[in-house]
Structure 1
Amino acid sequence: MQEVMNAPGDAARAAGCPVSAAVSAHAADPLDEIAHAIGPGPFAQLFLFLSPQADAEALAARAATLFPGTPVCGCSTAGEVTGAGYDEGQIVAFALPRRGFDVETLVIEGLDRLDTRALIADLLRARQSLGRRAFSRRHESAVLLVDGLSGQEDALVAALAGGLGPLPVVGGSAGDGKDFRRTRIIAQGRVLENAAVLTLLRSDCRVRPFSLDHLRPTEARMVVTRAEPHSRIVRRINDEPAAAEYARLLGLRPDQLSTYVFAAHPVLVRAGGRHHVRAIQHADPDGTLTFFAAIDEGLVLTLAEPQDIAAHLERELGALSAEAAPSAILGFDCIFRRIEAEGRQRGREVSEILARHRVTGFSTYGEQIGALHVNQTLTGLAFFPPEEPR
Structure 2
Amino acid sequence: MRERIKPMVRLFIPFIIFLGLSGQAWANRLLIPMDMSQKNHLKAYGIAYWILKSYETEMDWLLNYRGGSFMVPFNQRFATEMTIRGVSYEVISEGQASQILAEVAAPDVNMDAVKLQKAPKVAVYSPKSKLPWDDAVTLVMSYAEIPYDVVYDDEVLNGKLPEYDWLHLHHEDFTGQFGKFYQFKDYPWYREQKREAESTAEKHGFSKVPLMKLAVAKKIAEFVSGGGYMFAMCNATDTYDLALAAEGVDIVEAMYDGDAADPNVNNKLDYSKTMAFHNFKAITNPYQIEFSTIDNQPEERQLSESSDFFTLFQFSAKWDPIPTMLTQNHQTLIKGFLGQTTAFKNQYIKPEVVVMAETKNAGTGEARYIHSTFGKGFFTFYGGHDPEDYQHRIGEEPTDLNLHPTSAGYRLILNNILFPAAKKKKLKT
TM more than 0.5: no
TM-score between both structures, scaled by the size of structure 2: 0.29
TM-score between both structures, scaled by the size of structure 1: 0.31
Is the strand fraction higher in 1 or 2? 1
Larger Rg: 2
Higher relative contact order (CA 8 A, sep 6+): 1
